[in-house]
Structure 1
Amino acid sequence: MAEQNWRVLIVDDEPPIRAELNYLLKQDARVGQVEEAGGATAAVEKILSFRPDVLFLDIQMPGTSGVQLADSLHNLKHPPAIVFVTAFSEYAAEAFELDATDYVLKPVEQARLEKALDKVEATIAARKPASTDEPVRRIQGERNGKRSYIPVSEIAYIEARADYATAYTQAGGYLVNDSISVLERRLASEGFLRVHRSFLVNIDDVRDIEVLKPSGLIQLTLEHAATRIPVSRRRAPGVKKQLGLA
């Protein structure tokens, strides 16, 4: 296991849970310093001063929820990787819409925590600048129980599926064991653009752009996929610029 020395911040309003998670995290060689916060206000102060690499975040807390706190972190230049830790599985979909690295249910077990830290490692690695200019030619996927290496040029779009994704080609969909956020960073130089929290699109595959009335929302028609991809309001300005519409 590689030495990483991550700075980790635990945010939970229950001290016994923070203490247990703190102990478990320190059993992993990748974890360096661990600090704690009992709520969102204290967490913001810690984030600005401690600058954690990883945030283990409870969802249900008095006042500002973990989801609200995570959403606000998108404004940071270098936001931490977020792992939600909660007793409630029904928040999973909302958590992954916020580009969470993982979602762990309480009580946390060491084996499950190690899997979460593996995903954290992949997320942090994907955020680092590439050491070479070598393009990404293929990504690994699975279809009908068979693993394949999919040429990136053949992928029309990628759709988020919780903490993994599905890459769609003219031949069909392939399960990819990476989050859409990791794939967004890996494939940015290959002409892929995040147009929605759930969709990453191959710009070369866009055939038609439609502005829906009266909402003004945009949707994309792709050359090699029998579907229309919505563009979120938040991402619309960047998409228009990339497509030469702004």
Structure 2
Amino acid sequence: MMSNQKLDILIVDDEPLARGRIKSLCNRMTNINRVDMASGGREALDMVAQNCPEILLLDIDMPDLSGMEVAKQCRQMTNVPEIIFTTAHDRYAVEAFRFDATDYLLKPVKEDLLREALERVQKKRQTTGSTLQTKSDQRLWVQDGNTAVQIGCGDIGWIEADRDYMRLCLPERSYLVHESMQSLLQRLPADIFVRVHRSAAVNRNFVRDVRRKGRRRFVVMQDGTELTIGPSFVKAAMSVLAQ
């Protein structure tokens, strides 16, 4: 692990053997302060409210309350834990990214993948000091065909509306997410993303220039793409992009 910060972990799984195996993996890690276990979703929510663990290693298929519902309710808490889903099925991966999960590990969980996931949580908390999504090293789940992948928010150059979707444009490719611009921007680092139009937002680190041609104002991205600055966004956008 990367720092002296110790993490409290809650393993949530209705299968005793699975809980025990994951706990044994956690016991091999350094800088873990405490490992608790819950045998179901409702018990997990009670323990999260009481103990405020930093990380949930969360199964999805559970008889009383699914892992997805647990994650949903955790997001409404004051101290929101990081979620690492642990499941025997890959069919939930697309849904999992909607909860900003740190990772999605298939059972049997491999030690090296678990270690990497825990290190990402630790690095994120060391950098931000909390779970608030305000830093450029934040990661986002997006759909890629029939699976889901994580991308770095700081790697997104700009966002454009594409019918009922938002297109996240990265240097090498783009991804579609079924979400409104307002909702998406609430999940992205507010210190680097600037809305320039009702249908576009830019990563200020990818802006090469801001220009005016006649009455039109627009930003020029590093690859030469031009994005119009809407009249109602000029003042706010220019105040940020001019910095």
Taking structure 1 as the reference length, the TM-score comes to 0.61
**Structure 2 residue aligned with 1:168:** 157
Shift of the 127–175 alpha-carbon distance from structure 1 to 2, 3 Å rule, reads: farther
Is the Cα–Cα contact under 8 Å of residues 59 and 85 in structure 1 kept in the other structure?
A: yes
| One-letter code aligned to 1:174 | P
Counterpart Cα distance in 2 of 1:124 and 1:160 = 22
State the partner residue of 1:189.
Answer: 191
Aligned twin of 2:112: 111
Is the 8 Å Cα contact of residues 81 and 124 (structure 1) preserved in structure 2? no
2:54 and 2:91 map into 1 onto residues whose CA distance is 26
Q: What are structure 2's unaligned runs of at least 5 residues?
A: 144-148, 160-168, 174-184, 202-217, 220-224, 228-235, 238-243
Matches within 5 A, 1:4-15: 4-15=5-16
Asked if 2 retains the 8 angstrom alpha-carbon contact of 1:52 and 1:80, the reply is: yes
- The DSSP-based 3-state class of the residue aligned with 1:7 is strand
Matches of 1:19 and 1:128 in 2, distance apart? 30
Do the aligned residues in 2 keep the contact of 1:127 with 1:185 (CA within 8 Å)?
A: no
Would you say 1:95 and 2:92 are equivalent positions?
no
Instruction: Supply the distance in 1 between the matched residues of 2:36 and 2:22 (Cα, whole angstroms).
Output: 11
- The within-5 A match list for 1:5-154 is 5-128=6-129
Measure, in 2, the Cα distance between the counterparts of 1:13 and 1:226.
52
How many angstroms apart in 2 are the aligned matches of 1:65 and 1:40? 6
**Inter-partner Cα distance in structure 1 for 2:51 and 2:60:** 21
RMSD: 3.5
Whether the 8 Å CA contact 1:8–1:34 is kept in 2: the answer is yes
Contact 1:54 1:80 in 2 (8 A): yes
Deviation at 1:27, TM superposition (A): 0.9
State the distance in 1 between where 2:52 and 2:96 align.
Answer: 21
Q: Secondary structure at the match of 2:64?
A: coil
Residue in structure 1 matched with residue 209 of structure 2 by the alignment: none
Q: Percent sequence identity over matched residues?
A: 30
Q: What whole-Å deviation, never above 9, does each CA across 1:140-171 have from its counterpart, x for those lacking one? A: 9xxxxxxxxxxxxxxxxx9946321451259x
> Does the CA contact (< 8 Å) of 2:141 and 2:150 recur in 1?
no
Give the letter for the 2:83 counterpart: I
Task: Give the whole-Å Cα distance in 2 for the aligned partners of 1:185 and 1:4.
Answer: 25
The aligned counterpart of 2:232 is none
Map of 1:221-236 to 2, 5 A cutoff?
Answer: 221=200
Q: In 2 relative to 1, CA 41–185 (structure 1 residues): closer, same or farther, beyond 3 Å?
A: closer
Q: Distance in 2 between matches of 1:43 and 1:63?
A: 11
Q: Tell me the TM-score normalised to structure 2 length.
A: 0.62
Larger of the two Rg values belongs to structure: 2
C-alpha separation between the residues in 1 aligned to 2:102 and 2:124? 7
Aligned length: 176
- Separation of aligned partners in 2, 1:53 and 1:42: 17
> Matched residues in 1 for 2:102 and 2:127: separation?
12
Aligned-partner Cα distance in 2 for 1:55–1:98: 13
Distance 1:173 1:99, change over 3 A: same
CA contact (8 A) 1:83 1:104 kept: yes
Cα 1:169–1:115 change in 2 (3 A) is same
Alignment partners' CA distance in 2, 1:86 and 1:163: 17
3-state DSSP of counterpart to 1:189:
coil
